[in-house]
Structure 1
Amino acid sequence: MSDTQSQFENRPPSVAVLLLERIEATPQAEAYRYPVPSANGSGPDAWKSYTWTEAAERVFAIAAGLMDLGVEAEQRVAIASSTRVDWILSDLGVLCAGAATTTVYPSTNAEETAYILADSDSRVLIAENAAQLDKVRERRSELPQLRHIVLIDGEAEAADGEPEGFVLTLDRLMERGRAHLEKQPNAVKDAISAIRADQLATLIYTSGTTGRPKGVRLPHDCWSYMAKAIAETGLATRDDVQYLWLPLAHVFGKVLTAGQVEVGHVTAVDGRIDKIIENLPVVQPTYMAAVPRIFEKVYNGVASKAKAGGGAKHKIFQWAAEVAREYAKVTQDNFRRTGVASAPAALKAKHAVADKLVYAKIRAAFGGRLRACISGSAALAPEIGYFFAGAGIHILEGYGLTETSAASFVNPGEAYRTGTVGKPLPGCEVRIAEDGEILLRGPGVMQGYHNLPDKTAEVLESDGWFHTGDIGELSDDGYLRITDRKKDIFKTSGGKYVAPAEIEGQFKAVCPYVSAIVVHGADRNYCTALIALDEIALTGWAAGNGLAGRSYGELLASEEVRELIGGYVEQLNSGLQRWQTIKQFRVLPRDLDVEHGDLTPSLKLKRPVVEREFKDLLEEMYTGAREA
């Protein structure tokens, strides 16, 4: 075992132990901040806080309440809720009881929710509201093992045929827990002491593009390791304020909760995506994590607003954007060579002017104190990354999978390099297979897929190496660059290999109106693209181009928009190899979203789903229709 790995040999067996240590170290420090909507819903939200001691009281009450319901070690307790402080406290309660959390996205339909609950053998479901409760009641006959449903919001009214006490509120669960602790004061601490490092802590079901989702088994040691490894990177400190909106049913959001317990900083929690812009100036976070789609939307919004503001404003923005990219590239390159993020005097002068005119406003929109953003789940277009870096919003890309507890690589602070996912976390080993596939090994790797030994054997070797399915390359000094998903790379009928994600990323950097793009061309004689456009950005463009009043749907079908996007496709093609160029494209009749199944809940593109849904448009582009 390497020296780096040995640093983690003596880590506690679980995050539950880390929580006890955190409470002892900083009992009265602020732990969580959460919004409370105004009484009539018309005014701004108020924000309240829990100290670590206050949070722990609720966590232990939930843990004891679950034990009072008969939940035993490693038995599963599911959580179906949006991102909110109650999700975090409930999850910690499950872990402190020695049980295991099954995560369920609140957007999951009734059929798949029932499958996850049944496959995981979940005994209790913590449901956010009546909508989540109704989904389970609809499939109740398929869930004989489900003993209780705990409702976070609303009243717990029994339905016909349900046994007494089958549904109870979260408040009632905590009341039972407190009563349980009066009789057995050490019940929770004893349960925490009994937790083994290899004991199941979490079952996260991957949102597959085809077939049933697979349950990823992550033991307590994965989260304890991740908490320690995140702290070791130094990316977060005790003084930080994190803004957490990511879905906690997803491994990216979940790992941030473990890291916070170890570091001890404040986390402001609100999963309402439509509240992000409103919340950031209020919370004023020093760091936050997001997915590329969020940064793309911010960039497109700023670019389209500048264009709508008229020729002068648009020219200033374009100039400032180029200065930002140049400044980021030069300073990162100089830091790599000399250890100092310097720039020539002329470039610094231009950057200072652009900062006053453009960048300062962007930073203010993020709350004005943002030190760094962590980006993961998918690749961020480098040109967008360089833009934000030059504007003073430092986006540190990371990399990991559900099967590796989310964080395997992350860019290291000042030494970050846009276009890479950084270096491996302490304790994580990496190697590149002969075909370019990234293989990982370390304490963060899953135990396997739940009830699927054959599927486990396909990706997890007996010596611990996990096959990620991603293609990448390592620099001499250990920075990893992801080039594409192994299964997404295709070969044209002319025998040329194409990495669609690379082309898609370049298009997102040149077109401020794109929401999503799918490049297609497997076994075809040329490449085509399906392009979805952002409604806000597009309607902003329409207002300044004589098309005000047209609906989003009318704009998508218009010749004017086709010509607009065609110009950006030509711009994209000018920088591609001949076999990569987009010969034809179609503007999709709607945006891609989670509700239609085009995106995962973490906003990752489901390529096969989109290609199936818009098969007719794809076929049309290969049957003599007009070219772009």
Structure 2
Amino acid sequence: MEGIAFNFALSSLKVISFVLDVITFPIYFILDNPLEARRKAKEVRATVIDRGPNYITYRGKQQPTEFHIELLKNGIDTMAKMLDYCSKKRKNGKCLGTREVLAEEDEIQPNGKVYKKFVLGDYKWQTYEEVNTLATNFGRGLRELGIESRKNVAIFSETRAEWMIAAHGLFKQNIPLVTIYATLGDEAIAHAINETEVTTVITSFELLLKFKQILSLTPQIKTIIYIEDQLKKLDDTNGFKNGINIIKFKDVIEKGKNSNVGEQAPTKDDIAIIMYTSGSTGIPKGVILQHKNLIATFKSFCDLTRMIDGDVMMGYLPLAHVFELLVESVCMALGVPVGYSGPLTLIDSASKIKKGSKGDATVLRPTYMSAVPLILDRIAKGIHDKVENMNFITRLLFRFAFEYKLRWQKMHFSTPLVDRIVFSKVQKIIGGRLRMIISGGAPLTAETQEQIKTCMCITLLQGYGLTETTAAAACQDEYDNTFGRIGAPLNGIDIKLVNWEEGNYLVTDKPNPRGEIVVGGDNISIGYYKLPEKTKEDFYEENGRRWFKTGDIGEVDSDGSFRIIDRKKDLVKLQAGEYISLGKVESSLKTLPLVENLCVYGDSTKNFCVALVVPRLDELPKFAERLGITGMSFEELCDDEQVRKAVTEALAEHGRKCKLHRFEIPTVVKLISEIWDPESGLVTAAFKLKRKDIQERYRNEIKRMYSS
């Protein structure tokens, strides 16, 4: 009965809105100028510059911005020159911001438990000149400690202002930076340190105790520089092995301040970073990035976005990944202050924010952020949950507003009244001023992109790049009103589609060419650290240009924009000859609100696939309650046969809605109560699945699913 009433009320709202649209159309037509936006949306974004029987090469039509040309005229070809130039140009402008921690207090929860919560103040800002001076002094301080040019130093720390300052201190002295994710396991961290022969590590007070455990695996470490905590002090160094020199970050800066050591300026061909990717297969590989690689991506990113006065970026993704490092660097270069945050203090409801206090986003009120699909998926599911729990009237209004806005958005019209009345509460979660997010690191589903863009009233651009391409390859522009595409090649970068006959992806396919994506340009790495054979396998030179074979399968639309449709490593051929793209199936099924994560497995000797499913902690009990099952723990629900069968059916229904083929939908599933986070070793720091590790961990469960 409620469904009939809901549809009747929705239809009534549509009739009323139609009358109002007719009345107000001329006003919005003048204000929004949709014809111009539509013209730009239909422009060809890339053209074919070369083709052969088994490949097609595309180049973007984007022109360099004034700032890009300015960089060329001033010979900015290293990261060291970049900071010096920006410091002189923007001298006293806000550059990097850190929120003040005033105290840590006990907070009693409704269940009687006591948790530690922060009392936070405002953001404290450092100017460009101050940041440049600190970086210069830190680099000189390292030299005073005996670290020579071209001798590797590692940063093992969370994202923060000191991370960026330390990195630029290293760049200024031509000291290669080894980046290590803070969430990597002990063995992966030790591997990166030992392989690069690092003797000095920069870490944080919070991670110092974790690093103590790693010292037994890294015998060559001689010096640990730690970034001080705002409240706590390091009382003693007991437990650290003898001979380790433990120094405060600020003491290194003080050494440099009193030093006469000059800068060892790098050239564009010098190594800037050895970046250890968290790796979805095998042990982490060190990707070698030269200064010219970083500057190539830096310039292409500068051409991508328009910054306006008053813009502020929130930095919270790992700086240990080149995507975040360069996005923040571009913001700094364009005069956009970067304020730092973390998952424990990001929003008002974050776990370390005291009740009644404000999260970082509310205080900083950012206009610009970078994000990865996992975070955006969680936001989208959170919005879905809140809508489902609304009363009849509120849910009706939200549903109407969403469909109404989506319709006008596709025609390049704004909906300011709907945004203010319905979506302003969603906007306020991230401070209320957010206008743009760039997503990278993994494919973003069209459904999530559509929902986030519509409900948060922002421009959400999807980009594409890998560590080996210095995070750059393609990105949507702000006039691209489609969902699920990665855009056209960025400035200075070519993308080649090459036949992959085994998967039946050919450049002669109709209506659009398809094939493996190969990226070429100055952004391409010289290879993997101490892995010459793997470097030969994945990289090559052709006509004076360096290329990287990504392993991703792409399709190009008529306007020169690409979309990722498959991955070579994720393709499985079933017994009957059908091919399943595991990544594609997972991306579709993960949009089911019940699912936190899942891994699809296909055995080539069988005619069906199976899946390991991690349900959401808050959703599975509600799902079970609808089945009449109550009073069971999360672990018990995951083991319950009735719940498992119901989840299997829900996944199948959702798969059909996502237009998956019958053979792509898992026939049997196993519910997993273990949470897959980077510390579990089952996903990377960017939350990509580690298939081999998952399959090894759950090999008995997979066997049982196939024998059931």
TM-score range, shorter chain: 0.7 to 0.9
Quote the Cα distance in structure 1 between the aligned partners of 2:199 and 2:135. 19
Quote the Cα distance in structure 1 between the aligned partners of 2:686 and 2:344. 12
- Cα root mean square deviation, aligned: 2.9
Assess if the C-alpha contact under 8 Å between 2:280 and 2:683 holds in 1.
no
Which aligned pairs between 1:269-308 and structure 2 lie closer than 5 A? Answer: 269-273=340-344, 275-276=346-347, 278-308=359-389
1:430-451 Cα offsets, whole Å, 9 max, x none, are 1001111100011111111111
Quote the Cα distance in structure 2 between the aligned partners of 1:595 and 1:162. 25
Which aligned pairs between 1:90-489 and structure 2 lie closer than 5 A? Answer: 90-129=166-205, 131-132=207-208, 135=211, 138-140=214-216, 142-144=218-220, 146-153=221-228, 154-155=233-234, 157=236, 166-180=245-259, 183-184=260-261, 187-188=262-263, 191=264, 194-237=265-308, 239-273=310-344, 275-276=346-347, 278-310=359-391, 313-314=394-395, 317-318=398-399, 320-323=401-404, 326-328=407-409, 330-331=410-411, 341-342=412-413, 355=419, 358-391=422-455, 392-435=457-500, 436-463=515-542, 464-489=546-571
Call closer, same or farther: CA 1:67–1:614 in 2, change over 3 Å: same
Assess if the C-alpha contact under 8 Å between 1:396 and 1:416 holds in 2.
no
Call closer, same or farther: CA 1:384–1:577 in 2, change over 3 Å: same
Amino acid at match of 1:470: D
Quote the Cα distance in structure 2 between the aligned partners of 1:40 and 1:85. 21
Quote the Cα distance in structure 2 between the aligned partners of 1:535 and 1:357. 31
Residue 18 of structure 1 is matched in structure 2 by 82
Per the TM alignment, residue 199 of structure 1 is displaced from its structure 2 partner at its CA by 0.1
Call closer, same or farther: CA 1:318–1:525 in 2, change over 3 Å: farther
Per the TM alignment, residue 401 of structure 1 is displaced from its structure 2 partner at its CA by 0.5
TM-score when scaled to structure 1? 0.88
Call closer, same or farther: CA 1:270–1:562 in 2, change over 3 Å: farther
Residue 56 of structure 2 is matched in structure 1 by none
Per the TM alignment, residue 162 of structure 1 is displaced from its structure 2 partner at its CA by 6.2
Residue 636 of structure 2 corresponds to residue 571 of structure 1: no
Tell me the secondary structure at the aligned position of residue 139 of structure 1: helix
1:291-329 Cα offsets, whole Å, 9 max, x none, are 11111111111212222345555555555555555555x
Amino acid at match of 1:195: P
Residue 120 of structure 2 is matched in structure 1 by 45
Tell me the secondary structure at the aligned position of residue 622 of structure 1: helix
Tell me: higher relative CO, structure 1 or 2? Use CA pairs within 8 A at least 6 residues apart: 2
Q: Identity of aligned pairs, percent?
A: 27
Call closer, same or farther: CA 1:161–1:522 in 2, change over 3 Å: closer
- Deviates most, 53-62 or 23-32: 53-62
Per the TM alignment, residue 393 of structure 1 is displaced from its structure 2 partner at its CA by 3.0
Tell me the secondary structure at the aligned position of residue 429 of structure 1: strand
Quote the Cα distance in structure 1 between the aligned partners of 2:369 and 2:296. 21
Q: Return the index of the structure with the highest Cα Rg.
A: 2
Residue 354 of structure 2 is matched in structure 1 by none
Residue 335 of structure 1 is matched in structure 2 by none
Per the TM alignment, residue 211 of structure 1 is displaced from its structure 2 partner at its CA by 3.3
- Deviates most, 612-621 or 119-128: 612-621
1:514 to 574, 582, 595: 595
Tell me the secondary structure at the aligned position of residue 28 of structure 1: coil
Call closer, same or farther: CA 1:497–1:22 in 2, change over 3 Å: same
Amino acid at match of 2:81: V
Per the TM alignment, residue 201 of structure 1 is displaced from its structure 2 partner at its CA by 0.4
Call closer, same or farther: CA 1:581–1:107 in 2, change over 3 Å: closer
Call closer, same or farther: CA 1:245–1:378 in 2, change over 3 Å: same
Residue 615 of structure 2 is matched in structure 1 by 533
Tell me the secondary structure at the aligned position of residue 289 of structure 2: strand
Amino acid at match of 1:152: I
Per the TM alignment, residue 155 of structure 1 is displaced from its structure 2 partner at its CA by 3.3
Per the TM alignment, residue 415 of structure 1 is displaced from its structure 2 partner at its CA by 2.4
Per the TM alignment, residue 561 of structure 1 is displaced from its structure 2 partner at its CA by 6.8
Call closer, same or farther: CA 1:322–1:613 in 2, change over 3 Å: farther
Quote the Cα distance in structure 1 between the aligned partners of 2:596 and 2:567. 20
Residue 694 of structure 2 is matched in structure 1 by 610
Quote the Cα distance in structure 2 between the aligned partners of 1:264 and 1:543. 52
Amino acid at match of 1:421: I
Q: Which runs of 5+ in 2 are unaligned?
A: 1-48, 50-58, 106-116, 349-358, 501-514
Quote the Cα distance in structure 2 between the aligned partners of 1:440 and 1:107. 29
Quote the Cα distance in structure 2 between the aligned partners of 1:22 and 1:618. 55
Amino acid at match of 1:434: N
Quote the Cα distance in structure 2 between the aligned partners of 1:51 and 1:70. 29
Aligned residues: 597
- Deviates most, 587-596 or 419-428: 587-596
Residue 600 of structure 1 is matched in structure 2 by 684
Residue 161 of structure 2 is matched in structure 1 by 85
Call closer, same or farther: CA 1:453–1:560 in 2, change over 3 Å: closer
1:392-446 Cα offsets, whole Å, 9 max, x none, are 2322110100111112211111225311111221101110011111000111111
Quote the Cα distance in structure 2 between the aligned partners of 1:560 and 1:260. 48
Call closer, same or farther: CA 1:539–1:304 in 2, change over 3 Å: farther
Amino acid at match of 2:579: Y
Quote the Cα distance in structure 2 between the aligned partners of 1:472 and 1:96. 39
Assess if the C-alpha contact under 8 Å between 2:185 and 2:681 holds in 1.
no
Quote the Cα distance in structure 2 between the aligned partners of 1:315 and 1:621. 41
Amino acid at match of 1:597: G
Call closer, same or farther: CA 1:9–1:481 in 2, change over 3 Å: same
- Deviates most, 87-96 or 554-563: 554-563
Quote the Cα distance in structure 2 between the aligned partners of 1:106 and 1:573. 39
Residue 337 of structure 1 is matched in structure 2 by none
Tell me the secondary structure at the aligned position of residue 275 of structure 1: coil
Amino acid at match of 1:393: I
Amino acid at match of 1:595: E
Assess if the C-alpha contact under 8 Å between 1:416 and 1:422 holds in 2.
no
Quote the Cα distance in structure 1 between the aligned partners of 2:622 and 2:169. 46
1:147-180 Cα offsets, whole Å, 9 max, x none, are 4211113438556896778221111111111111
Residue 580 of structure 1 is matched in structure 2 by 664
- Deviates most, 254-263 or 427-436: 254-263
Call closer, same or farther: CA 1:352–1:45 in 2, change over 3 Å: same
